[in-house]
Amino acid sequence: MERNTKPHWQAHNARQPRMANPERRQVLSWLGGAGLLAAARARTAFAASPVQDQALAVVQPPRPAPAFSLLDIDGKAHRLADYRGKVVLVNFWATWCPPCRQEMPSIERLYLSMKGRPFEVLALDQGESLNNVFAYMGELNPSPTFPVLLDQHSQVAHAFGVMGIPTTYLIDKRGLIVRQAVGGRDYNTPQIRQTIEALMR
C-alpha cells in the first residue's frame, strides 16, 4: 500500500512550546548513568562501536525482538509482528535528545530510498505527549514519513533492554535482533545500506 509522503503533522499546530515536563525527568532518571550502560553491554553481549564509526554492532547470538503494539501519532496501532518478513529498523528516541535530532533526517533519507522494498522504520518516542512530538516533527528537515510511535511509559524500551538514547536495532525478516547501535549515527551511508541489503536477501 502506497504511503502518503507529505508529513501530516505539518498541518498540525507545529510550533507549540516545548514542555519543561516531568516526563523528561522521568526518562532521564530511567536512562541512568554510565554504569547502567556498561551493565547493558555486558548483559546483551555486544561490542558497541564508537559513535564516529557508522557501523552497527553485531548482536551475537541474535535474539528474538520483544513483541509490542503501540499507537502512532495518528492513533493507528502498529504491531511489530505485522512486519514479519521485512527488515525493521527500530529507533528509540526523544525530542530533548540532540543526537536523536541529528540522526533522524538520515533515517528518513534511508527510508525513502528503500520505498517498495521489504524494509520498515519504526521510531519510538520515549515518555512524551502527542502534542510535543507533533511539534517536534514539524521542526525536522526532512520531516519523517515513517511511523512515529508513542512508547509513553517506556515499556517497550525496557523490554528491549535500552539503557540510553538514541538506541537503534535492526530486526531481520525472522524477527531476530541482529544489529544494534547506541548513540547517534548517519544512517544514510553505503556501509549501513549494505548491511540492510544483505538482510533483505
> 160-179, pLDDT tens digit by residue?
999 999 999 999 999 999 99
Give percent above pLDDT 70 in the chain.
Answer: 73
**What local confidence, expressed as pLDDT, does residue 197 receive?**
96
C-alpha dihedral (10, 155, 199, 6), degrees to nearest 10:
-10
pTM: 0.75
The residues facing 88 across adjacent strands are 120, 171
| C-alpha to C-alpha distance for 171 and 107, rounded to whole angstroms | 15
pLDDT band at 55 (very low <50, low <70, confident <90, very high): confident
**What local confidence, expressed as pLDDT, does residue 33 receive?**
34
Residue 154 has pLDDT above 80, yes or no: yes
**What local confidence, expressed as pLDDT, does residue 41 receive?**
34
Mean pLDDT value of segment 86-113 = 97
The residues facing 69 across adjacent strands are 79
> Which tops the pLDDT comparison, 75 or 41?
75
**What local confidence, expressed as pLDDT, does residue 53 receive?**
55
What does the mean pLDDT of the chain come to?
A: 81
> Which tops the pLDDT comparison, 22 or 175?
175
Question: Degrees (nearest 5) of the Cα angle 142, 143, 147?
Answer: 130
98 exposed, middle or buried (CB, 10 Å; 0-12, 13-18, 19+)?
A: exposed
Spatial neighbors of 144 by CB under 8 A, at least 6 apart, are: 7, 104, 107, 108, 111, 123, 137
CA distance readout (Å), 131 to 13, 108, 152, 181, 198 = 9, 21, 13, 28, 38
